[in-house]
Amino acid sequence: MATLEIKDLHVSVTADEVEKEILSGVNLTINAGETHAIMGPNGSGKSTLSYAIAGHPKYTVTSGQILLDGEDVLEMSVDERARAGLFLAMQYPVEVPGVSMSNFLRTAATAVRGEAPKLRTWVKEVKTAMSDLDIDPAFAERSVNEGFSGGEKKRHEILQLGLLQPKIAILDETDSGLDVDALRVVSEGVNRYRASGEAGVMLITHYTRILNYIKPDFVHVFAGGKIVESGGPELADQLESEGYVRFTGKREEAV
């Protein structure tokens, strides 16, 4: 059973030759079977946290630790992190022109599973996973995310999640830009993934809406580059009625 531990994590980014600290001491432990919602206003550093865990080169960890089952994640390359069982569904998924979705998924599955999936069962597996997410089969031959709508990109992220079955999934604003039907389909995909009871989920969101579909065990308020309050689902209800004003001094709705 997996555990992701984030200990006093400080992360900075350098833009125009100026180094700026974005995360200032994040502490969080996610165990297998737990879903943690990270809720916070825009610009609080939520995506930076997800990038730091995934190993994005732009984000420098200046101090602190990230451990997966006790192993030092910060020592691992991006590929090694994926093979170790970490998965990031990005807020803004990147387009990969010239690489078809079916090739991309097979390559990713081969890397993560350590061997190429058997072709016949694989084709079936992908077909079922696509149909579960209401993705048109024609998408298999399209370039990854190229020309996809926002909602189509999010479905594709959840398709990967279902096929790769990571130990720990970080879902960065998977709800943003989705209409109610797409939100339901995508949430059902996440819930199928969670159904094993062994997945650890970090569900990053600005809005409480997705939490009606994906019930969190814990809710953390993220502001100014760290977790400023933690609680159960009731904390999300409180944010829904009060917004983030108590944490930022600024009026910002959470619904």
- How many whole angstroms separate alpha carbon 135 and alpha carbon 120? 20
Q: How far is the CB of 105 from ligand ADP (least distance, A)?
A: 26
Stretch that binds ligand ADP, among 43-51, 128-136, 190-198, 247-255 (CB under 6 A): 43-51
**Nearer to Mg ion by C-beta: 13 or 101?**
13
Angle of the 150-164 helix axis to the 101-113 helix axis, nearest 10: 30
| d(C-alpha 133, C-alpha 162), whole Å | 10
Least gap, CB of 90 to ligand ADP (angstroms): 11
250 forms part of the interface with ligand ADP (CB under 6 A)? no
Among the listed residues 17, 42, 180, 241, the single contact to ligand ADP using CB under 6 A:
42
- One of 1, 43, 79, 215 touching ligand ADP (CB under 6 A): 43
Comparing CB distances to Mg ion, the nearer of 35 and 47 is: 47
User: Would you call 152 helix, strand, or coil by DSSP?
Assistant: helix
- Structure tokens belonging to residue 91: 């807020």
* 187 binds Mg ion, rule: CB under 5 A: no
CA-to-CA distance for 214 and 233, rounded, in angstroms? 11
Subset of 23-52 contacting Mg ion (CB under 5 A): 25, 46-47
Q: Which range in 39-47, 77-85, 123-131, 153-161 contacts ligand ADP by CB under 6 A?
A: 39-47
C-alpha 130/C-alpha 162 separation (Å) is 10
> Tokens at residue 222, please?
């993220």
Q: Which is nearer to ligand ADP, 47 or 160 (CB)?
A: 47
Contact set for ligand ADP, span 44-63 (CB under 6 A) = 44-48, 58
Q: Does residue 91 bind Mg ion (CB under 5 A)? A: yes
Determine the Cα–Cα distance for residues 28 and 214; give it in Å rounded to an integer: 20
How far lies 132's CA from each of 4, 170, 184, 186, 189, in Å? 29, 21, 12, 9, 8
Please return the burial class of 49, using the count of CB atoms within 10 Å of its CB with bins 0-12, 13-18 and 19+: buried
Binding-residue total with ligand ADP (CB under 6 A): 12
Task: Select from Mg ion, ligand ADP, none the partner in contact with residue 25, using the beta carbon and a kind-dependent cut-off of 5 to 8 Å.
Answer: Mg ion
Binding residues (CB under 6 A) for ligand ADP: these are 13, 15, 22, 40, 42-48, 58
